[in-house]
Amino acid sequence: MSASTSQGPVLVYAPDRGIGDLMWHLPTMRAIAAALPEGKVVLVARPSSRASEVLKAEPSVARVLYAPHYKDRLKGVREALDFHRICRAERPRAVWILEKIDRPAIAAALAGVPERRGFGLGHSQERFLTTGPFLPKAMRPAHRIEKLEAFERAHGLVVTSREPSLKLDPDALEAVKKRYADRPGPWLCLGIGASEPARTWPADRFAETARRVSDLFGTVFWVGGPHEAERAKAAIGDLTTAVVACDLPLDQSAALISLSAGFLGNDSGALNVAAAVGTPCVGLMGTAPVPAYSRWLSRLDGGQGRIADISVEEAVAAVRTRFVDERWGDARA
């Protein structure tokens, strides 16, 4: 490991685009930071990860820099140029690339970064890295979490738990408590948003599920992006326990989830945030379901990757079972 902080920061390059992906990488980033004398890294992430908001209170991340994701024919060149500019400006002593892509490795090499680590996986990236070992080619089909675990072992990083244990902004917590102080508990959050239709459970099923568990929860919050507010309002109808909370900024949305007794939602960033803040959560899975990497997370899988195959009855049973077994009614709000 590099020892001198006078030679510049250590950059961690995490090119995945989702908030959930960011949560999976948190234990690795913390382990890298813990091995440094300054105890912090500079994270380079995609804007869509919203890392600067999500990790606002994370002590192991000194700063977040954004490297855009491009989709045109010159995307590789543009991404390499972007990261080269970052490296020239930051003058890092080391770069850790939590992926196999070669563009950031090439950029870091051209910028003269003395220490460069990455997954490798038998790709051309290995030619531009200075420090192994690399993950074997046979691991290419493995899930990202498996790759992270193997990478940690290979580089002597100490990770005692895969739980993200996301740190929350105290101001966001206070703002949510104040805003919803009059709402009875226990609270349940419904995560209705998702990145694609194949991962989106119908809103009317969320509404029917909320209706059938209304004896358990004093308030049911509908959580999603601003564009999902109208869909939520249309589905809610006459449900008196429902509150649409799609207007919250991301840090307050995470705070609301953390203050809730439970969470039911699509395979999305909000689901991973729920697991990350230690809220018991049931994930409705469609395509490419996330593994149950957290003790807080359980899954309901649609047949053949079809989230629409998950019935209201299954969702209600999953929430009721965990409510009783884990005493959700005694938790939080």
**Mean pLDDT (10-residue bins), the chain, 333 residues:** 67 92 95 98 96 95 95 90 97 97 96 98 97 97 94 97 95 97 96 87 96 96 94 92 95 97 94 95 79 86 81 96 85 55
% of the chain exceeding 70 in pLDDT:
94
The Cα 333–Cα 259 span in angstroms is 6
Residue 224 dihedral angles phi and psi, to the nearest 5°: 180, -170
CATH code, residues 170-330: 3.40.50.2000
What tokens were used for 325?
Answer: 């077994």
Q: What is the CATH number of domain 5-154?
A: 3.40.50.2000
Q: According to the model, what pLDDT value does residue 6 have? A: 57
pTM above 0.85, yes or no: yes
Domains of the chain, residue spans: 5-154, 170-330
Task: Assess whether the region 5-154 and the region 170-330 belong to the same CATH fold.
Answer: yes
Tell me the C-alpha distance between 295 and 2, whole Å. 34
pLDDT attached to residue 302? 76
Mean pLDDT of the chain: 92
In the chain, % of residues over pLDDT 90: 80
